[in-house]
């Protein structure tokens, strides 16, 4: 996410390092570098201009903190203004309706349908009971897609009949939501390849009827300034309450994320960061600013860990570890919990100072998959008592997992080493603190 921008900004800011005092000339030179970094990231030129003006004003003003070096001061000013440009404070969803209606709009392919399901799943996790519906009568496949996704997340979906008009589906869905006591109605609307008159008219009619609490534009971050232009048109023609930027995980430049709030006046509310249904993050300007400046985002990582790890299971594991009863069944459980957090590279990307360097780390995700495959090929009895795994069992396990006997031996040896290491953790206080960090 935004690797190129991070790298360029870090470089631009490093020019301020090792300076005793900054002259107006130094500041101007540094700002030129930052300007280039932002323009290369495809940030809207007017947003760049305003941003730099604010940074310059503050850098040249008497706002000098004795405790900070010139470099730290510049980083602080750039960080503060970045947060401001990204929208200041996180703006949550308005869910004050009965039911609250969330209308999703956007171009075809932006990720609208997937996002409708992601949002429903997110709200369900938060204790809401959403109802889903799609008014994309022009693409029956899109309606079907959302029905299948709704089934996957075990939430009800209002099916459309072939004769129904988009507005009629919306009317019926609202009635069903009210009658069945659903507190949120999520309405996916038709997307076109390009903005057209008919699309806007239909969307406006649905909006006027439903009077939604939220009208969210789903926009593809990879489209850069085109996404910003689309957002501006929807804002002018229909009126939006917020934006969900999708495919952000593949966007190295960050131009849309950086510009969209300033240009449209609409806050970004969520980021789509993958194809899976839980790949949706609440948008926090401070956290993103921190990531963009290579300072990491520990808070989001901790939240992800809290969601992914089953606290009850973690406590059971803690008990086993204390009694040194850790077996391969537990190791498999740990590997699965880790995987829920994402790839190891994903996890590391939240830590400060790594940025693009992650690509150079000798991390082998394949080895982890291999370990899991080997453990999966064992019988439960073998997982609990690895010492019974003799030569013929090893051959069977290797065959079953598509690996070699050497691989099985390697895993068993690593497991033994792990257990030895755990004995050193046996002091309960130490272990407790260690696990607590993840809860
Ligand atoms: P719609 O035409 O706007 O309804 O778009 P879809 O929901 O069908 O999504 C289009 C494609 O984008 C699908 O392949 C989705 O899996 C993918 N997609 C949606 N959101 C994201 C995201 O945040 N990251 C990535 N990588 N892909 C996404």
Ligand-binding annotation for 224, yes or no, is no
CA 145 to ligand 1 centroid distance, Å? 11
Q: State the DSSP H helix or E strand holding residue 158, giving kind and residue range, or none if neither.
A: strand 157-158
Ramachandran region of residue 364, left (φ > 0), alpha (ψ -120 to 50) or beta?
beta
Residue by residue, pLDDT tens for the chain (439 residues) are 888 888 888 888 887 777 677 778 888 888 998 999 899 888 999 999 999 999 988 888 766 555 567 777 888 888 889 999 999 888 889 999 999 999 999 999 999 999 999 999 999 999 999 999 999 988 888 899 999 999 999 999 998 887 889 899 999 999 999 999 999 999 999 887 777 888 888 999 999 999 999 999 999 999 999 999 999 999 999 999 999 999 998 888 888 999 999 999 999 999 999 999 999 999 999 888 888 887 766 666 666 666 666 666 666 766 766 666 778 888 887 777 777 666 666 666 666 655 556 566 556 677 778 888 999 999 999 998 898 999 999 999 999 999 999 999 998 988 887 777 666 655 444 444 433 433 3
Joined together, the tokens standing for residue 5 give 């921008």
Alpha-carbon distance 382 to 237, whole Å?
64
Pocket of ligand 1 (CB under 6 A): 106, 108-114, 142, 191, 246-247, 249-250, 272-275, 279
Q: Answer yes or no: is 192 a known binding residue.
A: yes
Fold of 3-85: 1.20.120
Contact 177, 187 (CB under 8 A): no
Domain ranges of the chain: 3-85, 100-295, 303-436
CA of 404 to the centre of ligand 1 (A): 38
What is 100-295's CATH number? 3.40.50.300
Q: Is 112 annotated as a binding residue?
A: yes
Atom nearest to 142 CA in ligand 1: 4
CA-closest residue to ligand 1 atom 19: 111
The SS3 assignment for 400 reads: helix
pTM tops 0.80, yes or no: no
Tokens found for residue 27: 């500041």
- CATH number 1.10.260.30 given to 303-436: yes
């Amino acid at each position: 996410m935004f690797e190129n921008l991070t790298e360029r900004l870090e470089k631009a800011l490093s020019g301020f390092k090792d300076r005793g005092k900054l002259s107006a000339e130094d500041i101007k030179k540094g700002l030129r570098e930052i300007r280039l970094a932002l323009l290369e990231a495809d940030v809207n030129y007017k947003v760049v201009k305003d941003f730099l003006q604010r940074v310059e004003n503050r850098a040249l003003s008497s706002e000098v903190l004795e405790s900070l070096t010139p470099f730290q001061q510049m980083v602080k000013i750039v960080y503060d203004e970045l947060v401001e440009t990204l929208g200041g404070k996180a703006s949550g969803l308005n869910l004050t309706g009965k039911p609250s209606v969330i209308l999703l709009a956007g171009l075809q392919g932006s990720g609208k349908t997937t996002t409708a399901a992601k949002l429903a799943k997110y709200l369900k996790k938060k204790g809401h009971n959403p109802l889903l519906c799609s008014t994309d009568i022009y693409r029956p496949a899109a309606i079907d897609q959302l029905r299948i996704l709704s089934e996957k997340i075990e939430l009800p979906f209002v099916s459309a009949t072939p004769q129904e008009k988009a507005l009629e589906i919306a009317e019926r869905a609202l009635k069903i939501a009210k009658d069945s006591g659903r507190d949120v109605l999520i309405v996916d609307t038709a997307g076109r390849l390009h903005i057209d008159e008919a699309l806007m008219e239909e969307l406006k009619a649905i909006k006027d009827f439903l009077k939604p609490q939220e009208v969210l534009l789903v926009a593809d971050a990879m489209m850069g300034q085109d996404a910003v232009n689309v957002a501006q048109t929807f804002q002018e023609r229909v009126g939006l309450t917020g934006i969900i930027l999708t495919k952000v995980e593949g966007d190295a430049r960050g131009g849309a994320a950086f510009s969209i709030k300033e240009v449209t006046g609409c806050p970004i509310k969520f980021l789509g960061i993958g194809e899976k249904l839980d790949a949706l993050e609440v948008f926090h300007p401070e956290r993103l600013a921190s990531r963009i400046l290579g300072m990491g985002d520990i808070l989001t990582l901790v939240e992800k860990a809290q969601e992914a790890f089953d606290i009850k299971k973690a406590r059971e594991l803690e008990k086993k570890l204390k009694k040194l009863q850790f077996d391969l069944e537990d190791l498999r459980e740990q590997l699965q919990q880790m995987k829920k957090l994402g790839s190891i590279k994903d996890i590391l990307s939240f830590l400060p100072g790594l940025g693009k360097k992650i690509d150079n780390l000798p991390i082998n995700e394949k080895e982890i998959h291999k370990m899991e495959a080997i453990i999966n090929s064992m019988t439960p009895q073998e997982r609990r008592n690895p010492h019974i795994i003799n030569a013929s069992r090893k051959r069977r396990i290797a065959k079953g997992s598509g690996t070699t006997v050497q691989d099985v031996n390697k895993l068993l040896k690593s497991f033994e080493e792990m257990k030895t290491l755990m004995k050193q953790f046996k002091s309960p206080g130490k272990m407790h603190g260690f696990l607590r960090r993840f809860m």
